[in-house]
Amino acid sequence: MFTEHYAHWIDGRPSPINPSARIERLSPAHDVLVATYAAGTVAETEKAIAAARRAFDHGPWPSLPGADRAAVLQRTAALIRENAEALARIETLESGKPIGQARDEMAWAAGIWDYAAALARTLHGDSTNTIGSNQLGFTLKEPVGVVALITPWNFPLLIVSQKLPFALAAGCTCVVKPSEFTSGTTLRLARLLQEAGLPDGVCNVVTGYGEPVGRVLAEHREVDKVSFTGSTAVGRKIVAASHGNLKRVALELGGKNPQVIFPDADLDAAADAVVFGIYFNAGECCNSGSRVLLHRAIADSFLERVAARARTLPVGDPLDERTKMGAIVNEAQFDRILDCIASGTREGARLLLGGKRLGSGPGRFIEPTIFTDVTASMRIAREEIFGPVLSALCFDTTDEAIRLANSTAYGLSAAVWTRDVDRMLTCARGIRAGTIWGNTIMEGGCELPFGGYGQSGIGRELGPDALEPFTETKTVMLHLGPRKNLWHQPPDSAS
């Protein structure tokens, strides 16, 4: 293991930084220094915004043919694939996620860049030919301008890849602020973009903390849009900070996602999915299926199946190819998870599995944990824990299952397990969430839109309309032939 020292990336080059203002990143699994990043200042953030502004106002990126922008995105996809092993290793060392999973995420991210390239060539306006024989209207799709992209630590390259290629495809220029815990792959990506032919200043990366870097991006009048993925609490701050110039705001926030299990489901497959749904990325996942809602008739036997699988889950060194669950990202998150577990016991839930720190060596690991006898009002049923903690609740009827599913402030995703098509569709319609999985979880591709209801966010990413939020629609209205004078009558016609 060796330490990487990164600078900001502004206007096509590493930007000189103050060596005393560095953020040190220790691998959460090994407690070894793996990276240092610049702790960005107000001036550095403003320099990046100015570079993006120049690249937007003076071009050529916003006015290039879609095919030319698509070519850059496709080359970037290829470069991500070529560098996948190095990128995956950076993510594992900085975030604690298993190396096998990190490799899958690099492949997934590359696929999104290819998809965005296809959309870059299909972006178009519309025409209206039905407003009168002497009138013709049409719309132009134009890039929204300078976009700030603020991302979290749980899927660093994947989440920036849900935003950046679509912003670029639309012709926007960007300033990206990755998480202060996992900035490495975003900075690498900026270099790959240059290698792929992206003009200087079109994509800038400023590292550092939410205060001041994120705040300045959200407030700044030269930024036209902010696209944020992270916690609901910070999402609220972004909305407040963005008021000054009424910038466009897109938010992808937290979740407390239910996995609803009916007795007629393939219970073996459902148990496997429940284990995956909660312990994938150690539960540090916005889509984490952290509440399992069980029909009372199968609750105990089903939880036995889940617990049996969870007990044998390989937890440990994320560099070990066999590991399925790695380390918890940082001390604050680790403490918060243990605090939530303590609250579960205090409020009367029954600990069926886990609940403790795992191991006594370096790094921070938590046992796969299951609570049963949970009620909807308990903290572990309402709050996003963002850790490997599953809360089991019971229901008797489909209506009750839907009510329970909707009993939190969030609405990101839900999984429903039943072979009964009526019941499946009733749940799909009744549950207020941006994504409903039927007899599966976390499946599907970037062709499908993603985003949240309620406090899980504003707007959608991915899918065929993924460029739309990075555009403005301009209406052009043409009058054909002579236009009748409606207001001003010539003096000689007045008599």
Residue 179 or 471: which CB sits closer to ligand NAD? 179
Cα–Cα nearest to 246, from 216, 215, 225: 225
Contacts of 345 (CB under 8 A, 6+ apart): 351, 355
Residue 159 or 374: which CB sits closer to ligand NAD? 159
The catalytic position among 286, 340, 394, 427 is 286
CB 201 within 8 A of CB 190: no
Q: What single string gives the DSSP state of each residue in 384-428?
A: ---SSEEEEEEESSHHHHHHHHT-SS--SEEEEE-S-HHHHHHHH
Site for ligand NAD contains 410 (CB under 6 A)? no
Site for ligand NAD contains 154 (CB under 6 A)? yes
Strand 13-15 to 8-10 pairing: antiparallel
Q: Give the three-class secondary structure for 490.
A: coil
Cα–Cα nearest to 254, from 230, 280, 226: 230
Exposure pattern of 115-131 as b/e (b: 16+ CB <10 Å)?
bbbebbeebeeeeeeee
Query: Footprint of ligand NAD on residues 244-263 (CB under 6 A)?
Result: 252-255
Site for ligand NAD contains 163 (CB under 6 A)? no
CB of 277 to ligand NAD, least distance (A): 14
CB of 181 to ligand NAD, least distance (A): 7
Among 267, 412, 414, 416, binds ligand NAD (CB under 6 A): 412
CB of 161 to ligand NAD, least distance (A): 12
Residue 194 or 207: which CB sits closer to ligand NAD? 207
Query: Footprint of ligand NAD on residues 109-138 (CB under 6 A)?
Result: none
Mapping DSSP onto H, E and C, the string for 229-262 reads ECCHHHHHHHHHHHHHHCCEEEEECCCCCEEEEC
Residue 15 or 151: which CB sits closer to ligand NAD? 151
Please tell me the distance from the alpha carbon of residue 362 to that of residue 428, in angstroms, as a whole number. Answer: 44
Beta bridge partners of 176: 149, 205
Consecutive H or E run containing 54: helix 42-58
Query: Footprint of ligand NAD on residues 43-82 (CB under 6 A)?
Result: none
Among 386, 395, 437, 453, binds ligand NAD (CB under 6 A): 386
Among 28, 40, 143, 152, binds ligand NAD (CB under 6 A): 152
With CB under 6 A as the rule, give the number of residues binding ligand NAD.
31
Binding mask 436-475 for ligand NAD (x = CB under 6 A): ----------------x----x------------------
* Peptide bond before residue 60 is cis, with ω within 30 degrees of 0: yes
Beta strand extents in 17-97 (DSSP E only): 22-26, 33-38
Residue 37 or 395: which CB sits closer to ligand NAD? 37
Site for ligand NAD contains 161 (CB under 6 A)? no
Active site residue 203: no
Binding mask 194-233 for ligand NAD (x = CB under 6 A): ---------------xxx--xx--x----------xxx--
Neighbours of 474 (CB within 10 A): 11
Among 9, 56, 153, 371, binds ligand NAD (CB under 6 A): 153
Residue 456's Cβ-count burial label (10 Å; 0-12, 13-18, 19+) is buried
CB of 104 to ligand NAD, least distance (A): 16
Active site residue 286: yes
Instruction: List residues near ligand NAD by CB under 6 A.
Output: 150-154, 159, 177, 179-180, 209-211, 214-215, 218, 229-231, 234, 237-238, 252-255, 286, 384, 386, 412, 452, 457
- Catalytic residue ranges: 252, 286
